[in-house]
Amino acid sequence: MDSRKNTEMEILRAAKKIFIQHGYAGARMQAIADEAKINKAMLHYYYRSKDALFEKIMDGAVDLMSKQLLNALSGDASVMEKVEKMVSNYTDTIIKNPYIPIFILNEIARNQMNFQNKLQQKLEQNNVFQNFLLQVLEEQQKGILRPISVPHFMITIMSLIVFPHIAKPVFLKIFEMTDTAYMHMMEERKQLVMDFLGKSLVL
């Protein structure tokens, strides 16, 4: 029983690694099996198909990211306090799980409808996200936040959080940085992004 769990987890770890490197279409079941040090037929025994395996990992990513989002945005804090929590949570989560942005973007390209449905589903499980959007509007009406359309508001925040991770190899090269220095900069960025947003979004 314990051994089964270990085998399942090992397959997931290996699959995640290979899918990250090669994308869904480029990932080979044999390569995943090799990485997990198992026989390829076992992939099908445990996860039935390549697609099922990928979906499992994808579900994990969407789950984790939406949880972080909803966790940050729920409760009675002010909008900017929630945004700060969101910046911090997302940055930490991505640093610990660097595969996630890449996965999500590949999935967007590969199977847009599927991803959209997954995401929508997660956001609709409760009213947290909708309430947050309404709260943004409310604080704009109260003169706390600048009257920027809500999509612009959210897109700006997400841009600043996520893109630096996605484009990491580009920036590593352009600025001739080490991986360590870049990750250090991502930590700094938590504060920097809040500073930026404070100046840009708050009246």
Chain contacts with a copy of itself (rule: CB under 8 A)? 20-26, 102, 104-106, 108-110, 112, 115-116, 119-120, 123, 129, 148-152, 154-156, 158-160, 162-164, 166-167, 169-175, 177, 185, 188-189, 192, 195-196, 199-200
User: Each residue of 22-43: b (16+ CB within 10 Å) or e?
Assistant: ebbeebebebbbebbebeeeeb
Shortest distance in whole angstroms from residue 123 CB to a copy of itself: 7
Rank residues 1 and 174 by Cβ distance to DNA and give the closer one. 1
Instruction: Specify the residue, 42 or 203, whose C-beta has the smaller distance to DNA.
Output: 42
Contact in structure between 91 and 189 (CB atoms under 8 Å): yes
- Partner from a copy of itself, DNA, none contacting 125, C-beta within 5 to 8 A by type: none
Using CB under 7 A, list all residues that contact DNA: 1-4, 7, 27-30, 38-42, 44-46, 48-51
Residue 169 CB, nearest approach to a copy of itself (Å)? 5
Buried b (16+ CB within 10 A) or exposed e, 90-112: bbebbeeeebbbbbbebbeeebe
Based on CB atoms, which residue is closest to a copy of itself, 3 or 120?
A: 120
CB of 137 to a copy of itself, least distance (A): 13
Q: Which is nearer to DNA, 45 or 163 (CB)?
A: 45
Residue 22 binds which one of a copy of itself, DNA, none, with CB within 5 to 8 A depending on kind?
a copy of itself
145 beta partners: 202
Pick the closer one to DNA by CB: 5 or 96: 5
